Structure 1
Amino acid sequence: MSYGLYDHRRRYRRRIWGRVGKAALVLAVLGGVAGFSYLVGVEQLKSREGSIQEELANMTAAKDKAERRAQQLQQIAQTQEIRANELEIRLQREVPSGELAKITELVARKLAEGVNPERMAFVIEQTSNPRSCARPDTKRFVLPTPIYRGSNTQVAFADGAIIVTGEGVPARNDGGSPEAWYDPTKPVKIRFTDANGKVDEVNGVLPLTHNLISSDKEVRLTVGAGARSFVEVTGEVCRFP
């Protein structure tokens, strides 16, 4: 009897341990599957993260390229606007207007009527104004900036004896980017060069004034802000002394 009871207990323990072994095996398999799934998931997340970062980098590069192109187009448009203003000034300069247009028309008519050109030139040459100073003359030019250094950036007075030019601080748009034209609210540099090459520089916020002597002439110059990108220079040339 005791031997049968012992055998029964041993078989019971074997069944228990068999079940425990099977459960452990199942848990091991499930753990392996879970670990493998975790590793696969981690690799997929890393791959997805890498793709997202690459896509973000591409989008950022495309955005930067578009912004640079927009800025280039804006600068091109500004340059074209300045050139259009230069053509307008050239047209006004080369086509007589006002009193000069009337005198030009009168001279053309007299020549057509057969008046001797030399006699007409003599009469005009002998005509004088009793004033000691010539009538003030106003000219304008595009004030250069570090962004724009094109044409029409200087004017001359006293038969070319005095050259006026300078430099301004670029204006900024609402986004903070620099424009091609100068900011009239910021200090500017105005340079005056005489016939001997001597340069006088005046700094400050417009308007600015400067007097100088060139040969037998005294030149009084006033520089003020004009239309966008332009400064206007009024010069009065007087006899000296």
Structure 2
Amino acid sequence: MTLGRYDYERRYRRRVLSGVGKFGLMAAVVLGVGLFAYQMGIEQLKGRDITLREEIAALSRQKAEFELLATQMQHAARTAESRSAELEVRLQREVPTGELARLSQLLAERLKGGLDANRLAFIISQAQAQRNCQPADSKRFTLTTPLLKGGARGTTFSNGAITVTGEGQSAHNAQGNPESWFDPGQPVTIKITGIGGKSTVATGVLPLHQSLVIDNNEYRFTFAPGQRSFVDVTADRCAYP
């Protein structure tokens, strides 16, 4: 009886100890897995933190580069605006406008046509505001039109030394039919011819102005619409230059 009871108690203790050992082993395994997972999480967090820090540093460098580029572009824009303003002022100061532009164009055309620059400079230097001119001479003449081509047309000045002729477009009546006289609202062509064949042409809607130099005289003509079919012309003759 004593021996059987002893064996039972010993087996009971063995089972208890075995259960405790298994529990401890399982707890150790679970704890080990937990510690491993925790350590892995810590390492991942550290890696992510390093990556984020690197990305933040890269973004900071890009931001600084963009800010520097923006500053350089703003400086370049201000420089370009200042340069543009300087060029505009220089353009307004150096490029002729108005009457000066017209005179510059005439000078360029004369030089291109072969006229000597010294001759042009002499003529300009001799020009004076107070001119030596003869009394103006006024006349009138008719223009040829598509329906009025026969007969003598035009007029003369300076004892026949200069001939003035012209042509225009036919006027129309209320029914829209063309008339023999010219229409003063349409462009006309007027030709001024001097002895020797020297001539010039004025084209456009009246009034028109044109000049012609013959020998030592400059003839300045003003053409204006007169009575029906007529053009009034006034000629000034002045010493040239």
For normalisation by structure 1, the TM-score amounts to 0.44
For normalisation by structure 2, the TM-score amounts to 0.44
